[in-house]
Each structure stands twice: as structure tokens, then as C-alpha cells.
Amino acid sequence: MIVDDIGSRTRELATRLGIQPPRVEEGPVPAWIAEGVRAVPQPEQTLLVVGPVFDGLAPAEQDAGLASAMVVAELYRRGKWKPLAAAAVLTVAVGVLAFLLISPAWLVIPIVVVLFPIGFVVAQALWLRGVAYGHDRRLAEVFGRDTPELLLELNARNEHEIRGVLRAYLAVSNPARSSRSKRLRSA
């Protein structure tokens, strides 16, 4: 893997996407990320970490993986506070309502303490579903429908790598492949 070559390709793809090109480094990428590349959004410039799996992909899969990571990073950057804000609004609203309706008032504290993390996880899962659809739509707009379809196929081949709590969370926060394909075909 030659980081300079990947960086050059990344700059070309970023130009097509109309976003700032990320920095590229070699590093560890979890086995469940089929594209072999993960985005690390940072305040100044996104970092793409490319792992050894990336080398084994076909050139079209590599391009799709790089474009995908950049689009996900951009969508994350634009909306990263939405789940936190939604959980905070929900928690405050329920907390005020509970304060008005529940006696003794101290019972509001455990309600709020339990509700906020649950609200955050649910809001984040719903937001991530939107990110997945937005990701597919953006890739299809710029590169054609074949690119997100290729990524869906690549990820389907690698589903066995996802285990435990992460698998359960991704099942809730990531729309089914059939649903994503259906949306792509209808667009």
C-alpha cells in the first residue's frame, strides 16, 4: 500500500464530491469494516485510516470505500450534535413534566438519569439510519447508483465479522440492505 497513491486518488474523489480532501494514513481498521478504510473526523481535516484489507480490494471497491468514508465523515460533521440535542430536549421535557406530576420531586432525578442515555442511544440510532440513506444518495448522485450498490455487496460479504452488541446496534441503526437498495432504485 502506497499512502501517496491513495492520497492522490482521495484528492480526485474529494474534488468530485466537492469536499476538502482528507489526510490519509496507514493504520488499524476493524475487521468488520469491509472497505478497509475508516474516517476519523477531526476539527481541521478528516483523517482516513487505511488498513491492510484495502490492498486486497478491486480498484472500483477501493474508490467506493474511499468515497464512502469521505461522505460519512462529511455527514457526521454536519449532524454530529443532532442526537445529543434530541436526547437533551426529550430529557428536559420529560423532566419538567415529571417534576410537575410526580411526588416526591426527588424521583425526577433517577428518571432523568436513566432517560438521557436511553434517549441518546435511540436518537443516535435513528440519526445513523438517516446518515446511511444520505450516504447512499450522495454517492449515487456523484458516482452513479453502482457505487453504493457495490458497497452494499461488499458489506454483505463481510457481515460475519460483526458480533455481539455491535451487531445488535448496527441492526437497529443501519437500514437493511434490501431497504437501501430499494431506495436507490426509486431515486
Segments of the chain assigned E as strands? 23-26, 37-40, 47-50
pLDDT at 140 > cutoff 70 = yes
Of 12, 16, 29, nearest to 139 (Cα)?
A: 16
Residue type, 28: P
User: For a pLDDT cut of 70, what percent of the chain falls above it?
Assistant: 99
**Mean pLDDT for the chain overall:** 92
Between CA 12 and CA 116 the distance in angstroms is 42
Rg (alpha carbons) of the chain, rounded to whole number? 19
Between CA 145 and CA 136 the distance in angstroms is 8
Residues of the chain with CATH 3.30.2010.10: 3-79
Q: What are phi and psi of 136, to 5 degrees?
A: -60, -45
Least confident of 1-10, 117-126, 155-164, 177-186: 155-164
pTM, rounded to two decimals? 0.86
Helix (H, G, I), strand (E, B) or coil at 18: coil
In this predicted model, what pLDDT tens digit does every residue of 36-87 receive, in sequence order?
Answer: 999 998 888 899 999 999 999 999 999 999 999 999 999 998 888 999 999 9
Instruction: Return the CATH architecture of domain 3-79.
Output: 2-Layer Sandwich (3.30)
5: exposed, middle or buried (Cβ count in 10 Å: 0-12, 13-18, 19+): exposed
* Residues recorded for the chain: 187
Helix (H, G, I), strand (E, B) or coil at 1: coil
Helix (H, G, I), strand (E, B) or coil at 48: strand
Query: For position 1, what pLDDT does the model report?
Result: 62
Band of the pLDDT at 118, cuts 50, 70, 90?
A: very high
